[in-house]
Structure 1
Amino acid sequence: MATLELRNVNKSYGSGLVDTLKNIEISIDSGEFLILVGPSGCGKSTLMNCIAGLENISGGAILVDDQDISGMSPKDRDIAMVFQSYALYPTMTVKDNIAFGLKMRKMAPADIDTEVARVAKLLQIEHLLGRKPGQLSGGQQQRVAMGRALARRPKIYLFDEPLSNLDAKLRVEMRTEIKLMHQRLKTTTVYVTHDQIEAMTLGDKVAVMKDGIIQQFGTPKQIYNDPANLFVASFIGSPPMNFIPLRLQRRDGQLLALLDSGQARCELPLGAMEAGFEDREVILGIRPEQILLATAESRNQSSIRAEVEVIEPTGPDTLVFVELNQTKVCCRMAPDDAPQVGQTLELQFDPGKVLLFDAKTGERLLPGKSRATEDKVARLKIG
């Protein structure tokens, strides 16, 4: 196990004309599981290749256990990588694929056999050791690729979208296997994916990337509940967060968000704020599970009537769609509470769960923050 720190890492191509990675700052403790997540082309695989030494960085430093490894060759970094394509040798048996790296290190044959047996038992592939990759399923090949990395016992494991070639059911199974493996071995791991479900379920820490920039770095819970900007809020969560455009108004020192369903209006109180936010165009963000059915006891000025336009049963819950401020809004409900299309519901917003984003920059808003500093990320204190 080892700590990993990226200090102001940059990567440019063409004499600095194309910046692929920009000022990357990440630090994880020994044994932590880091997820690099983002859309295609965001730079996450490039960053992993830089950690592995497959690509050189243009600036900054990569440190393992406080030692700068930026100038080291891949073989000297003591890092093992599992590729998206598995990269197994087709003419070798499973046993020989797992043992290949150990043989290159000139380990004693008896020790190699012991290590292969250990890894095969861990991954439950003992019965496959005599087969070749062409005789294996996708999930079995993935286990072999993982076994080859595990057999080296490196300081850090790197996984580059290892589940992307598997079908949906097998992906869920292998995701669980990877999590169990990490819980048993407590190995420092960096895992690249574009799947936000993998990011939320696997990671101790998550770095959300876009255009070569870390948009937010934190725990899955922090990123889900306290997104730094509109991009993070929209990328993390399934179904995604609702975004409702509106203008803020002020009355009696209280800031209000105005919602209109076509058949009713409500003024959602957001608490006291300093001047400068009224009449401002913002995006109100709220998760589908945070919009509740109002009851006779809970009905108040935060409640609004709206007509159900679409319902989507998913099994464990039902997604109910209404329209607010001429925008489709998703509400997540228990199946037993699901209404019918055309039915009018009275919905309730918890002001403490509401997030506000600047409509132009996409950044989170903070009371009292000047327009000159709106590029900085901060949390809106509500209520």
Structure 2
Amino acid sequence: MATLELRNVNKSYGSGLADTLKNIELSIDSGEFLILVGPSGCGKSTLMNCIAGLEDISGGAILVDGQDISGMSPKDRDIAMVFQSYALYPTMSVRENIAFGLKIRKLPPAEIDAEVARVARLLQIEHLLQRKPGQLSGGQQQRVAMGRALARRPKIYLFDEPLSNLDAKLRVEMRTEIKLMHQRLKTTTVYVTHDQIEAMTLGDKVAVMKDGVIQQFGTPREIYNDPANLFVAGFMGSPPMNFIPLRLQRRDGRLVGLLDSADGHCELPLGGVDGELEGRELILGIRPEQVLVGAGDLPAIRAQVQVLEPTGPDTLAFVEINQTKVCCRLAPDSPARVGDTLDLQFAPDKVLLFDARSGERLCVPGKAAVAEPARVARLKGL
């Protein structure tokens, strides 16, 4: 196990080109599972390659256990990588694929055999050791690729979108296998994905990236409940957070948010909101499960159900508020039908406010006027 720290890491492919990585600052403790998540082209795989030594950084430093490894060759970094494409040798058996790196390091045959046996038991592929990669399913090939990395017992494991080539059912199964494996081995791991469900379920820490910049870094719970900006709020969560254009007005000396639909309107109390927000273009953010249906004394907005999507564990109902489609998560046995009118309530302490122009998170009404810097990382340059 090892600590990993990235200090002001930058990556550029030449003058005149935009930086692929911009001032990356990250630090994880020994044994932690870090997720790098973001859309295609955001720089997460480039960052992974820089950690592995497959690409040189243009500035900054990468430290493992406090030692700067930025100038080391890949073979000297004691880091194992599992690629998206498996990268297995097609003419070698499973046993030979797993043992290949150990043979290169000139370990004794008995030690190699013992290590292959250990890894095969861990990944439950003992019955596949004599087969060639072409005789394996996608999930089995991914296990072999993981086994080849595990056999090295490195300080750090790197996974570059290892499940993206698998079907949906197998992705879920392999996700569980990877989590169980990490719980057993407790090895420091960096995992790249564009799948926010993988990010939420696997990681101890999550770094959300966009355009080469880390938008937010924290635990999955912090990322989900206290997103730093509109991008993070919309990217993390399935279905995504609702974003509703909002106008603020004063009522009896206090600020309220105005919600309108074809069936009614309401004034949402926003206690603790800074008066300077009056007149600004705002976006109200609230997650589908936090839109309540007739559940108490809170002000309610009446809205007609336009679409219902049963998913099994719940039902998603779509309505229109402030001329925007809004998703509500209902119980699976909800009697609601298309055309019904629902009384919807927003818990004030669950509502988030964002600046419509910059996308910056402003506050959580009912909690604090401005989000604490320790909990919400502001975008650089705003």
Report the TM range for the smaller structure's normalisation.
Answer: over 0.9
Aligned equivalent of 2:222: 222
- C-alpha contact 1:254 1:273 (8 A) present in aligned 2: no
Aligned equivalent of 2:360: 363
- C-alpha contact 1:248 1:281 (8 A) present in aligned 2: no
SS of residue in 1 equivalent to 2:257: strand
Aligned equivalent of 1:377: 378
Aligned equivalent of 2:312: 315
Within a 5 Å distance, the mapping from 1:164-179 to structure 2 comes to 164-179=164-179
Aligned equivalent of 1:182: 182
- C-alpha contact 2:205 2:218 (8 A) present in aligned 1: yes
The one-letter code matched in structure 2 to 1:249 is Q
Matched, 1:138 2:138: yes
- 2 CA distance for matches of 1:52 and 1:5? 13
- C-alpha contact 2:37 2:208 (8 A) present in aligned 1: yes
User: Which one of 289, 296, 299 corresponds to residue 297 of structure 2?
Assistant: 299
SS of residue in 2 equivalent to 1:215: strand
Within a 5 Å distance, the mapping from 1:147-158 to structure 2 comes to 147-158=147-158
- 2 CA distance for matches of 1:273 and 1:152? 54
Aligned equivalent of 2:4: 4
Within a 5 Å distance, the mapping from 1:235-246 to structure 2 comes to 235-246=235-246
- 1 CA distance for matches of 2:272 and 2:313? 38
- C-alpha contact 1:2 1:188 (8 A) present in aligned 2: yes
Normalising by structure 1, we get a TM-score of: 0.94
The one-letter code matched in structure 2 to 1:159 is F
Shift of residue 336 of structure 1? 1.7
Matched, 1:261 2:232: no
Aligned equivalent of 2:128: 128
The one-letter code matched in structure 2 to 1:377 is R
Shift of residue 348 of structure 1? 1.0
Aligned equivalent of 1:325: 322
Alpha carbons of 1:368 and 1:340: their partners in 2 closer, same or farther (altered >3 Å)? closer
Shift of residue 273 of structure 1? 3.4
User: Which one of 336, 339, 351 corresponds to residue 339 of structure 1?
Assistant: 336
Deviations 1:84-139 (A, max 9, x none): 00000000000000000000000000000000000000000001000110110000
- 2 CA distance for matches of 1:368 and 1:124? 53
Number of residue pairs the alignment of both structures matches = 370
- 2 CA distance for matches of 1:368 and 1:343? 36
Matched, 1:28 2:28: yes
- C-alpha contact 1:24 1:213 (8 A) present in aligned 2: yes
Q: Identity of aligned pairs, percent?
A: 82
- C-alpha contact 2:255 2:275 (8 A) present in aligned 1: no
- 2 CA distance for matches of 1:325 and 1:264? 11
- 1 CA distance for matches of 2:87 and 2:190? 18
Shift of residue 338 of structure 1? 4.0
- C-alpha contact 2:157 2:187 (8 A) present in aligned 1: yes
- C-alpha contact 1:261 1:323 (8 A) present in aligned 2: yes
- C-alpha contact 2:228 2:377 (8 A) present in aligned 1: no
SS of residue in 2 equivalent to 1:360: coil
Alpha carbons of 1:224 and 1:246: their partners in 2 closer, same or farther (altered >3 Å)? same
Structure 2, unaligned runs of 5 or more: 371-375
Shift of residue 253 of structure 1? 3.5
Deviations 1:286-324 (A, max 9, x none): 0000011114xx134x21111111100000000001110
Deviations 1:6-25 (A, max 9, x none): 00000001136330000000
Aligned equivalent of 1:209: 209
Alpha carbons of 1:254 and 1:168: their partners in 2 closer, same or farther (altered >3 Å)? same
- 1 CA distance for matches of 2:369 and 2:352? 16
**Runs in 1 of length 4+ with deviation above 3 angstroms?**
366-369
- C-alpha contact 1:318 1:338 (8 A) present in aligned 2: no
SS of residue in 1 equivalent to 2:20: strand
RMSD: 1.4
Aligned equivalent of 2:277: 277
- 1 CA distance for matches of 2:37 and 2:125? 29
- 2 CA distance for matches of 1:272 and 1:228? 19
Deviations 1:17-46 (A, max 9, x none): 330000000000000000000000000000
SS of residue in 1 equivalent to 2:361: coil
Normalising by structure 2, we get a TM-score of: 0.95
Aligned equivalent of 1:71: 71
The one-letter code matched in structure 1 to 2:117 is A
